[in-house]
Amino acid sequence: MDLGIAGRRALVCASSKGLGRGCAEALAAEGVDLILNARGAEALDETAEFIRANYNVSVTAVAADITSEEGRAHVLAAAGTLDIVVTNAGGPPPGNWRDWRRDDFIAAMDANALTPIALMTELLPGMTERGWGRVVNITSVAVKSPIAILGLSNTARTALTGYVAGVARDVAAQGVIVNNLLPGLHATDRTIALDGMEAKLTGEDIDTVRARRITTIPAKRYGSLEEFGKTCAFMCSEHAGFMVGQNVLLDGGAFVSTF
C-alpha cells in the first residue's frame, strides 16, 4: 500500500534508538524527509547516516534534550515546516509510590506530558493553516493498564491522553490528525534495562526474567521495532484521515478485554 506521504517532512523525537528509530525508519521507507533527535550525538549521527545510506530521503540530526525548553527550541528551529510529528522521550524511572514526591511528578509530567503538549502547541497552528498534519504521540500500555512500579509514567501519560482526546477533535476538520500509539513490551534497550533491574531485584538471571515476562504476552514474544514503526507510519499516512484521537495499543494481546 502506498501511504501517500512521500516528500512530506517529519520530526521524530527521541529517535536514535528504540521505538523512535523504528518509526523514523518506517517513515523513511515511505519517502518522508526526516528530522531526527536524541541527546547523545554519536548514536544519533550513526542512525542518521544509516537512514541516509539505506533510504532515498534527506535526514537532519539535531542532538538536544527534547524535554527542555532550549532543546525543543533548537530542534524546532532546525526543523522548519513540518507535516508530521512523532513525539517521544525516555520514560520515567520505576519505583515505589511511597517514595515519589512533587519533584518526581514534575519531572515525569515535564518529560512525558508537557513536552508533547508544548510540541503540539507550537506545531498544530501551522498544520491547521496548511490544512494537513499528522501527530503520533508514543505513550504506553500503562495508560490502559497501569504498571505499579511505573506510577510516574501512568500519571504523566494519562494526563497527555486526556489532552489529546480534546485537541484531536478540535483540529480534525482542518486535516490535522492526532493519535496516540501505546507500546506494550518491545525489544528495545529500555526493555532490556527493565529486565536487568528485575533480575537484580529477584536474584534471577536475565533470561529467566525475560522468559517470565514473555509468558504474560499472548503473542509469546516482545514486539519488534519494525512492526511498531510501520503502525506509526500508517497513522501518519494519507489513509489515517478518519482516525481521530485514538489510542492504538500494540502489546501482543497482553491487555485482556473484549473491546
Answer yes or no whether residue 198 interacts with ligand NAP by CB under 6 A: no
**Is residue 90 a contact point for ligand NAP (CB under 6 A)?**
yes
Question: At its nearest, how many Å lie between ligand NAP and the CB of residue 1?
Answer: 25
Nearest CB to ligand NAP, comparing residues 151 and 171: 151
Touching ligand NAP, residues 13-52 (CB under 6 A) = 14-20, 37-40, 43
Stretch that binds ligand NAP, among 24-32, 52-60, 164-172, 179-187 (CB under 6 A): 179-187
Query: Is 177 within 8 Å of 246 (Cβ atoms)?
Result: no
Type of residue numbered 54:
N
Which of 88, 161, 180, 237: binder of ligand NAP (CB under 6 A)? 88
Nearer to ligand NAP, 16 or 237 (CB): 16
Q: Quote the least distance from Cβ 130 to ligand NAP, whole Å.
A: 26
Minimum CB distance to ligand NAP smaller for 137 or for 237: 137
Q: Does 191 bind ligand NAP (CB under 6 A)?
A: yes
- Sign of the four-CA dihedral 123, 224, 188, 98: positive
Contact 111, 39 (CB under 8 A): no
Q: Which of 2, 69, 170, 189: binder of ligand NAP (CB under 6 A)?
A: 189
Q: Which is nearer to ligand NAP, 83 or 251 (CB)?
A: 251
Residues that bind ligand NAP (CB under 6 A): 14-20, 37-40, 43, 65-67, 88-91, 138, 140-141, 183, 185-186, 188-191
